[in-house]
Structure 1
């Protein structure tokens, strides 16, 4: 998660604003810092009534990690006192019952087309607790985990054989391992205490578990990282022939370990270094037979798809369980309170654990979505994919074209060379390779003024 900030310099009259390539990582829109307490606390049954629920995504959030990396601003707490993980799963089950009842209240069929366990670190849970988490997803929520894509996040230290055995047996199709760097000195610099030998051992256990898709996360832009050390991490990852690789630029965010350093990285020279490392990594992976799916994601040629073919994030809903999860209906995005500070997170987790089933039947925090925001979200989530956005699908949904709705933004992207011409992608609005490289500037440029204002007014905690 990111707490985006606007870093664009004022533009000269008649020119586009100067955009830095790393303004913010847009993984969801609107960002949680644009959410606010919902005074009416709408009932979930009313929010989901009459909505299409035949291709939902299920996300379960586990807010625990063994350590907190220096770059991390995820909603997670470090460690868990005795009994807390069990109490958390008790609350998750209460929430699941309340949510399932709300989804089924109008009598419509409910089907999940995809599932994911994230965090935090889901594999912080013991093998028995992971089995219980799967039971909640299957038996309480009704998600057929063996019939749909199931993605689970893990860390090297928690990717143990017993945990991986449970996940494989319960239908996990994708395991994402947060490695970040195979160079021990870089891992220390990013405040991620791990040894390469531990990482390699974890990767061996994952391959032994025969989960179909292995994803390895790597980070570029770490202090002290060079092209040589970046290549060393890329080649170490490729030695395992992962089906997917994610290349993340390092961000230094408020309230994180790196953000508290006296002189955090945040200048134009760092931007240039990150861009150079990104291009190097992209080209190396393309030469190694990987296809670029987005700025961050690369898939090995011939590897199985890891996403649901019948779920579209632009149009289908998502149901979140857990205190850091969010849910999407066409009219409202909602979640629980959001924080980065450890003390604040502990308070929110403790509040979640104490909630009753009735407490889970209403939405607490969120943001209403009107037609303009729906258009922005659809364009954002499509354009940031390498395949781009079919214009006909956008027009069929909204009755207008993207150039009608966003002429200034798209004209700026085109002027910068970030949009491919129509002959390169007939019928699609698509970014050029340089546009993909600037995805973290393209995304924020499409935020609405209202969302920008809400994010700017958010009080960090």
Structure 2
């Protein structure tokens, strides 16, 4: 669920910004990245970087169909031999990155993920090769760390799931979106409920420990009753996790090309807020704990990941043409696109690349941006920000660094009354997470995102 830049002119009613501006899963957003000149060597970027708790992400940019709401970096289908050529390039990139990390100190991966696109678009033997790249080229012990894999109902086949389970997958995320067939068609995600239920049965049979089900609210024609139907259909499988996503209509997507501008008005905002609150309350009443605006975890679900891993500070290695990598000073990736023709060109260029020793596209994260990122990524979690950790890292307090932003959140009732040691969103603040995140973007990042031309 990637995003476009928030509007520079936010319409407000009763002093509140619109609740659905952009889903902030990383900061700065890729639309603020630019070609790097000169292109830095990876070995220089990673020199001196901590290597004890890295995240590893492998990106597979293929799907069997493109949903109407999707602006992920993905292409539909793959001509003969393309997936093999892509894995060849992924292996070359992995070898270059692992060499750049060096052996001066041990390299430890705290978690791994296969995303996309749809990683399970790959055949079973290709998934085994993907795991080999992560293990043999990068040195990740997939059976010893949490491994999350995204899948669609059509590609969650028994042979693919068997490979993933055998190689150590601990979490399988299934993009269901809706159990109501009419809603799935409205979101340009045609699927039969019987096929979705069959896929869920195969996942449970595979004994992968954690099942996540993605659902979307705000689909055209969705009602409180039909939303409850999807929620109950998901809960019947007792998933360890459920993600509730608001529908966004974005440029260059299937829905975006046909969108009525009036669809983004206040009435739709209020409808989505109602569905969110209904979904949140329903999950809380059924034994789930809220982790973020979108994520709900069953209270008795097995833990995912070591307690000492922190997305705010630990680095990430991203492999694949849609993946991003994080060092303490630079976030980098390859070029970003949404239009299918542009994506195909980027995928083709990636598969033809021989030299992966340099970063080509990214954004430097200076000290102010590092503060913003730490605050943003902590505040958007239900647990909030421990002020002492922030002070230890930056030598200052969040209210000193961001007085205007935090005062505005407090005035809107978005901050919980937790005392001086913890900064946390209130339930209403969590409901408005997609306004809180953009509210912390720097002027420079906003300008870069606004200048980005969608392609």
Is TM (by shorter chain) over 0.5? yes
Q: Give the Cα separation in 1 of the matches to 2:120 and 2:424.
A: 37
**2:361 maps to which residue?**
365
Q: Is 2:219 aligned against 1:222?
A: yes
SS of corresponding position for 2:52: coil
Q: Is 2:6 aligned against 1:5?
A: yes
Q: Is 2:386 aligned against 1:390?
A: yes
The alpha carbon displacement at 1:410 in A equals 0.4
Equivalent residues of 1:77, 1:346 under 8 A apart: yes
Q: Is 2:182 aligned against 1:170?
A: no
The alpha carbon displacement at 1:262 in A equals 4.7
Q: Is 2:185 aligned against 1:188?
A: yes
Q: Give the Cα separation in 2 of the matches to 1:309 and 1:58.
A: 17
**1:208 maps to which residue?**
205
SS of corresponding position for 1:129: helix
**2:430 maps to which residue?**
436
Equivalent residues of 2:75, 2:343 under 8 A apart: yes
1:371-403 CA-partner distances (Å, limit 9, x unpaired): 000000000100000010100000000000000
Q: Is 2:421 aligned against 1:427?
A: yes
Q: Which runs of 5+ in 2 are unaligned?
A: none
Q: Is 2:379 aligned against 1:378?
A: no
The alpha carbon displacement at 1:109 in A equals 1.5
Equivalent residues of 1:7, 1:20 under 8 A apart: no
**2:298 maps to which residue?**
300
The alpha carbon displacement at 1:263 in A equals 1.2
Q: Give the Cα separation in 1 of the matches to 2:135 and 2:421.
A: 40
Q: How does 1:14-163 map to 2 (within 5 A)?
A: 18-104=16-102, 107-163=104-160
Q: Give the Cα separation in 2 of the matches to 1:196 and 1:308.
A: 36
**2:325 maps to which residue?**
327
399, 420, 426: which one aligns with 1:403: 399
Q: Give the Cα separation in 2 of the matches to 1:310 and 1:275.
A: 34
Q: Is 2:312 aligned against 1:311?
A: no
Q: Give the Cα separation in 2 of the matches to 1:280 and 1:323.
A: 38
427, 439, 455: which one aligns with 2:449: 455
Structure 1 residue ranges (4+ consecutive) displaced by more than 6 angstroms after TM superposition: none
**1:355 maps to which residue?**
353
**1:245 maps to which residue?**
242
Q: Is 2:414 aligned against 1:413?
A: no
Equivalent residues of 1:10, 1:17 under 8 A apart: no
The alpha carbon displacement at 1:304 in A equals 0.8
Q: Give the Cα separation in 2 of the matches to 1:182 and 1:8.
A: 36
In structure 2, the CA distance between the partners of 1:293 and 1:354, relative to structure 1 (3 Å rule), is same
Equivalent residues of 1:62, 1:121 under 8 A apart: yes
The alpha carbon displacement at 1:6 in A equals 1.6
SS of corresponding position for 1:360: coil
Q: Give the Cα separation in 2 of the matches to 1:310 and 1:69.
A: 36
Equivalent residues of 2:55, 2:316 under 8 A apart: yes
SS of corresponding position for 1:361: coil
Give the root-mean-square deviation of aligned CA atoms.
1.3
The alpha carbon displacement at 1:7 in A equals 6.2
In structure 2, the CA distance between the partners of 1:267 and 1:216, relative to structure 1 (3 Å rule), is same
The alpha carbon displacement at 1:310 in A equals 2.9
Question: Comparing 376-385 with 414-423, which one deviates more in the overlay?
Answer: 414-423
Q: Give the Cα separation in 2 of the matches to 1:418 and 1:317.
A: 30
Q: Give the Cα separation in 1 of the matches to 2:144 and 2:287.
A: 29
Q: Give the Cα separation in 1 of the matches to 2:11 and 2:193.
A: 44
Q: Give the Cα separation in 1 of the matches to 2:138 and 2:85.
A: 18
The alpha carbon displacement at 1:311 in A equals 1.8
Q: Give the Cα separation in 2 of the matches to 1:443 and 1:316.
A: 20
Q: Give the Cα separation in 1 of the matches to 2:370 and 2:36.
A: 19
Equivalent residues of 1:325, 1:336 under 8 A apart: yes
Equivalent residues of 1:8, 1:19 under 8 A apart: no
SS of corresponding position for 1:58: strand
Q: Give the Cα separation in 2 of the matches to 1:282 and 1:19.
A: 21
Equivalent residues of 2:11, 2:17 under 8 A apart: no
1:156-179 CA-partner distances (Å, limit 9, x unpaired): 000000000000000000000000
With normalisation by structure 2, the TM-score equals: 0.98
Equivalent residues of 1:182, 1:233 under 8 A apart: yes
Q: Give the Cα separation in 2 of the matches to 1:37 and 1:442.
A: 29
With normalisation by structure 1, the TM-score equals: 0.97
Q: Give the Cα separation in 2 of the matches to 1:263 and 1:369.
A: 37
